[in-house]
């Protein structure tokens, strides 16, 4: 298994890191007491690979239990070696103070000091020994959330395109427009196989329907323009940190033209290395004439 321990200063971006780790396929646990880490690792190793990528956030919210973290990290590093990585995030005092004032949250150590600046100073002292175990040190003082997310994806993804799932779906307008869609393309303007008796009971998943739809120059031209648009847009969405993009194609009944385009576009995106999930929402519904 691959285990990532995320720790660092409160307010330095650990929550953002955890969200990104979850988006790229890690099973994430926030604020796990250090003494429970070895037991949880044991559980993961006996799941048959279903929990092969795990991220755990640990910080001073654990209270007195946090004092065990150094010993547990030492054991983990010896036991798992390169399978465990530690990310340490921090930011300058002034930026941390500003972030706490903007969010109106209380620092975990504030009640012990009654001073935000003193709480930050105390936390730095408590976290100092962890620096010996860090594999990645990330200074977030001047980073936007999107930039921090990009840095995490660069560390843990083999391909940048893995960071976003592209859901390509078809639907029928007669059953309602898909409300989850980010981009909607209406293909009702294209030749309709429904009115061809030998094609009526087939779907856009089949070659006979796809061939009929795509024999039209308008269909081929639209497909080219859609793929060109997605070639331009998808890298921009990935750079912005979007974890899922839903591209929906709609026709009258959601069985022929929209399915054809969802199939062809989905296959084209997979060939380019994107993670793609294809869904045909209304393909099995009966359509009255």
Q: What is the pLDDT of residues 107-146, one digit of tens each?
A: 999 888 889 999 999 999 999 988 888 889 999 988 888 8
| CATH number of the domain residue 28 falls in | 3.40.50.300
Strand partners, 4: 55, 85
In a domain, 288, yes or no: no
In a domain, 226, yes or no: yes
Render the burial of 67-99: b for 16+ CB within 10 Å, e for the rest.
ebbeebbeebbeeeeeebbbbbbbbeeebbbeb
Q: Quick one: 10 and 58 in the same domain?
A: yes
> Is residue 288 very low, low, confident or very high in pLDDT (cuts 50, 70, 90)?
very low
In a domain, 285, yes or no: no
Q: Which of 8-12, 122-126, 239-243 has the least mean pLDDT?
A: 239-243
Q: Is the pTM of this model over 0.75?
A: no
Domain enclosing residue 90, as ranges: 2-157
Strand-strand pairing, 136-139 and 84-90: parallel
Distance separating alpha carbons of residues 204 and 259, to the nearest angstrom: 5
Q: Interior CA angle at 170 toward 285 and 251, to 5°?
A: 75
In a domain, 287, yes or no: no
In a domain, 286, yes or no: no
Q: Quick one: 36 and 125 in the same domain?
A: yes
Number of folded domains in the chain? 2
In a domain, 213, yes or no: yes
Tell me which of 135, 157, 179 is where a domain ends: 157
Q: Quick one: 254 and 268 in the same domain?
A: yes
Tell me which of 157, 185, 203 is where a domain ends: 157
pLDDT in tens, 190-205: 999 999 999 999 999 9
Q: Quick one: 33 and 110 in the same domain?
A: yes
Distance separating alpha carbons of residues 206 and 256, to the nearest angstrom: 9
Tell me which of 138, 157, 176 is where a domain ends: 157
């Amino acid at each position: 298994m691959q285990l990532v321990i995320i720790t660092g200063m409160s307010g330095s971006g650990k929550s953002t890191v955890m969200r990104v780790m979850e988006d790229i396929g890690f099973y994430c646990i926030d604020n796990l007491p250090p003494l429970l880490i070895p037991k949880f690792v044991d559980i993961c190793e006996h799941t048959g690979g279903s929990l092969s990528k795990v991220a755990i956030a640990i910080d001073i919210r654990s209270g007195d239990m946090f004092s065990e973290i150094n010993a547990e990290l030492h054991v983990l590093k010896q036991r798992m070696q390169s399978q465990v990585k530690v990310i340490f995030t921090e930011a300058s005092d002034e930026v941390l103070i500003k972030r706490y004032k903007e969010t109106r949250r209380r620092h975990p150590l504030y009640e012990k000091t009654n001073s935000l600046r003193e709480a930050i100073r105390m936390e730095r002292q408590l976290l100092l020994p962890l620096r010996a175990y860090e594999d990645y040190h990330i200074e977030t003082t001047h980073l936007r959330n999107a930039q921090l997310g990009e840095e995490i994806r660069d560390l843990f993804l083999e391909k940048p395109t893995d960071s976003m799932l592209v859901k390509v779906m078809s639907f029928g307008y007669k059953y309602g427009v898909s409300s989850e869609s980010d981009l909607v393309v209406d293909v009702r303007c294209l030749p309709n196989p429904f009115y061809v008796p030998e094609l009526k009971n087939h779907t856009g998943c089949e070659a006979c329907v796809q061939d009929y739809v795509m024999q039209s120059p308008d269909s081929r031209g639209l497909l080219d323009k859609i793929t060109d648009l997605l070639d331009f847009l998808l890298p921009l969405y990935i750079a912005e940190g979007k974890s899922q993009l839903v591209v929906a194609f709609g026709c009258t009944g959601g069985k022929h033209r929209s399915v054809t385009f969802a199939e062809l576009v989905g296959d084209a995106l997979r060939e380019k290395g994107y993670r793609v999930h294809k869904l045909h929402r209304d393909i099995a519904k009966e359509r009255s004439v």
